[in-house]
Amino acid sequence: MTENDGTLVSICIPTYNADLQYLDELLSSIRRQGVAAVEIVVADDGSKNVKQVEEVISRHARNFVIRWNAHIGMVENWNSAVFQASGRYMMIPGQDDVLANGALRRLIDLAETYRLDLSLGAEGYIDSKGLRRPRPGFGASRAKIFADEPCALDAQAVLRLGLLYGNVIGDPCVALMRREFLQSIGGFDPKFRHACDLELWMRMAASGATIGRTPEVVALRRIHSANATVSHVKTGVAQEDRTLIHALYCEYLTDDYQWNRSVARLYTHGFFDLVRGGGVKSLWQAGLRGPALERVRALVDDCCENVGIRSAHGRRWGGVGLGK
């Protein structure tokens, strides 16, 4: 498919009381991509500034669709954009994210060359002023897990990495998805209010998606106090979603060590949520297995990875170079 054959990419932007400056910066970064056959699909979740949002969008995009929803919730609003899209591929950046220069073309080329259903890139981070910032959080970074070249990821790799590391795969802003595949599996699952993206990557993998990744930065995530993640941690929603994902996909863990590492990560995430003001709701529903020594080994290994004194166990699943 070429850019003369219709809409190549739908950029789906879910909005809710969007910061107009951040939204303007996102739309400016989309215009700089140099890809002509792009449509902008905005789904708004009952914002109070709808007129101003529409004015910002109309300044930047000729081909755009806006769906004004009642306040239906974050995930339902995301799906509203997903099922409104018409492009061969779709991308779902947050309303305050920014696409890196040339990112869209790199992901399209990756998807077209290797016929991928899910094409991933690396992400960078910026603050409220747009200044680059180091990766927040803890644990093994994506750079320590994934190959430093374009690589293919098999289904087992994605499923195990999701269970052992959480959303190390990436946020929606770094993912180019084949629209028909995404729509065929129902889009995002509304049961998940925080980890709906991780659950989607895992469900795509379990459904037979072809997946590849480039180590190049394709999007910049904005870190600020109004992020939904902050609220999800404090209310315990993030922890509940992680526990549910473990329950749904734990069959893909092949031995006691993998099981214990995944449970250790639940404990670690829960501890850091507690430090950041969250509660402990469902943390202990999954228990360790096997001999005591194996349980201790998994806990120690997870801690050592978190502080950077041990190489990432997940590196073995970090992908095989494409074309090899």
Cross-strand bridge partners of residue 90: 10, 177
Judge contact between 106 and 63, C-beta under 8 A.
Answer: no
Q: Nearest CA to 142 among 256, 66, 218, 207?
A: 218
Encoding tokens for residue 91? 């991308």
Where are the domain boundaries for CATH 3.90.550.10 in the chain?
8-94
Higher pLDDT, 40 or 140: 40
Give 43-79 as a DSSP string. Answer: EEES-S-HHHHHHHHHHH-SSEEEEEE-S--HHHHHH
Q: Is 284 in a helix, a strand, or coil?
A: coil
**Fold classified for 8-94:** Spore Coat Polysaccharide Biosynthesis Protein SpsA; Chain A (3.90.550)
Q: For residue 282, what pLDDT band results from cuts at 50, 70 and 90?
A: low
User: Residue 103: is it exposed, middle or buried by C-beta count within 10 angstroms (0-12/13-18/19+)?
Assistant: buried
Alpha-carbon distance of 233 to 251, in angstroms, equals 26
Q: Nearest CA to 220 among 129, 105, 122, 120?
A: 122
Q: Note the helical H segments in the chain.
A: 20-31, 50-60, 74-82, 103-114, 142-145, 155-165, 179-184, 196-206, 228-235, 237-249, 256-275, 292-306
**pTM for this model (two decimals):** 0.91
Residue 285 has pLDDT above 70, yes or no: no
Residue 182 has pLDDT above 60, yes or no: yes
Encoding tokens for residue 271? 């501890």
Judge contact between 96 and 16, C-beta under 8 A.
Answer: no
Q: For residue 320, what pLDDT band results from cuts at 50, 70 and 90?
A: low
What pLDDT shows up at residue 306? 82
DSSP 220: E
Higher pLDDT, 314 or 186: 186
Judge contact between 93 and 26, C-beta under 8 A.
Answer: yes
pLDDT tens string 222-235: 987 666 666 777 77
Judge contact between 117 and 211, C-beta under 8 A.
Answer: yes
pLDDT tens string 51-94: 999 999 999 988 898 999 999 999 999 999 999 999 999 999 99
**Rg for the chain, CA atoms, rounded:** 19
